[in-house]
């Protein structure tokens, strides 16, 4: 896989599973065809979400986003740019 291709999905716990206040949009890695699917999804924030309990969303703007997921999601690496200099240089 090209490092520029970071495939993610947006999910939110279904109504009735948790209170409305906790129904934030989590970011999860898209499943890899080579790895069998499990019954849970692990969000970038570390939350374990049961597949049966989530709604799959087409964008992150359907509800308040999980800030921890947004901070932790890997950023794509542009294929033709040099790597950034080491910190403190």
pLDDT of residue 1: 46
The per-residue pLDDT string of the chain (89 residues; one tens digit each, 9 = 90 and over) reads: 444 456 889 999 999 999 888 899 999 998 776 667 788 999 999 999 999 999 999 887 878 999 999 999 887 766 777 777 888 76
pTM of the entire structure? 0.75
pLDDT of residue 60: 78
pLDDT of residue 24: 93
Angstrom distances, CA of residue 3 to CA of 75, 76, 87: 9, 7, 21
pLDDT of residue 33: 61
Domain boundaries, the chain: 8-72
Closest by CA position to 73, among listed 27, 40, 7: 27
Give the whole-angstrom CA distance, residue 47 versus residue 29. Answer: 12
């Amino acid at each position: 896989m090209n490092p520029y291709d970071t495939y993610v999905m947006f999910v939110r716990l279904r109504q009735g599973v948790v209170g409305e206040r906790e129904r934030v949009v989590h970011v999860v890695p898209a499943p890899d065809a080579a790895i069998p699917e499990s019954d849970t999804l692990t969000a970038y924030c570390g939350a374990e979400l049961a597949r049966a309990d989530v709604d799959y969303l087409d964008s992150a703007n359907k509800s308040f986003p999980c800030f921890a997921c947004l901070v932790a999601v890997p950023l794509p690496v542009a294929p033709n740019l040099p790597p950034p200099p080491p910190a403190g240089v």
